[in-house]
Amino acid sequence: MELNEYLDFILGVYFESKYVTMAILEILNNKKKYPSIYLYIEDMVEYDDNGQIAEIRLKSTYFICEDPEFLPTLGEAMELYKAFMRVFWKDLQNKKHQLTNIIYAFNILRQPTLESALYPYVNYSGCYYINLTKNETEFTKTIYVPEIIDGEYWGRKGEKNNTEICSSDNSEVFKKIEEVFNMPEIIEDLFIPRFCDEELKTRKWDHRNGLTGYGFISIEFLMGNNVIKFFATERGYDPLSAIFRLPIIDSLSEEEKEIEVTEVLINL
């Protein structure tokens, strides 16, 4: 499958097709930055007699989601994601952004492992999130209803949502975050926050209405047809808090901060 389709399925992020070739070239030109996936990406390229690239096959035989026993690891998926993010971020510079949604979420995993962060449509038990558009703020609590067959978990058969929507002028927070996208150097820092099994085990979440599991934070942006997301298991002093989380929380009114979803996100 194509690399952007793989990331959509495995992490819930998406990049327009034009970034596939750009990400492949980013990896080929920076072997040391992508030690886990370089050889798999190199296999997608044909060279001519002069050692120049003659053809790039856009579909990978390694980054696929067909056989659960032979899937790429989370580390490999994140390494590929970093390559896409670097070329995407570079492409943003000196352009008018098409930022339409900002989503700050507390996601609940069924198991306290990094690998469970893969397959968001399968391994999550629910989430709390704030979704900001230019003129509205949506507060949603979601519980994913499991499909249980003969005592075994077979994924998700549905979901229950509890949503409140408030009219809001979010132009200021959009402006602040769009300014971050104009900082080419910040992209390297956004992958610094810790995200590990041991910390996930300390984030046991047992809330009312059956929402249980292990939580981590994500901050997501919809820009044109692209969906990008950053992950962390803490809300303390890290780049995500400083440049994304705090502006989002500060933009909320006192009434919005009393909504259950916001209280959960503030008091993690």
Helix (H, G, I), strand (E, B) or coil at 91: helix
Q: What is the mean pLDDT of residues 14-37?
A: 96
Answer with the residue of higher pLDDT: 80 or 198: 80
pLDDT at 209 over 70: no
Read off the pLDDT of residues 116-171 as tens digits, 9 standing for 90 and up: 877 777 788 889 999 999 999 999 999 887 777 777 766 677 888 899 999 999 99
Q: What is the pLDDT of residue 237?
A: 55
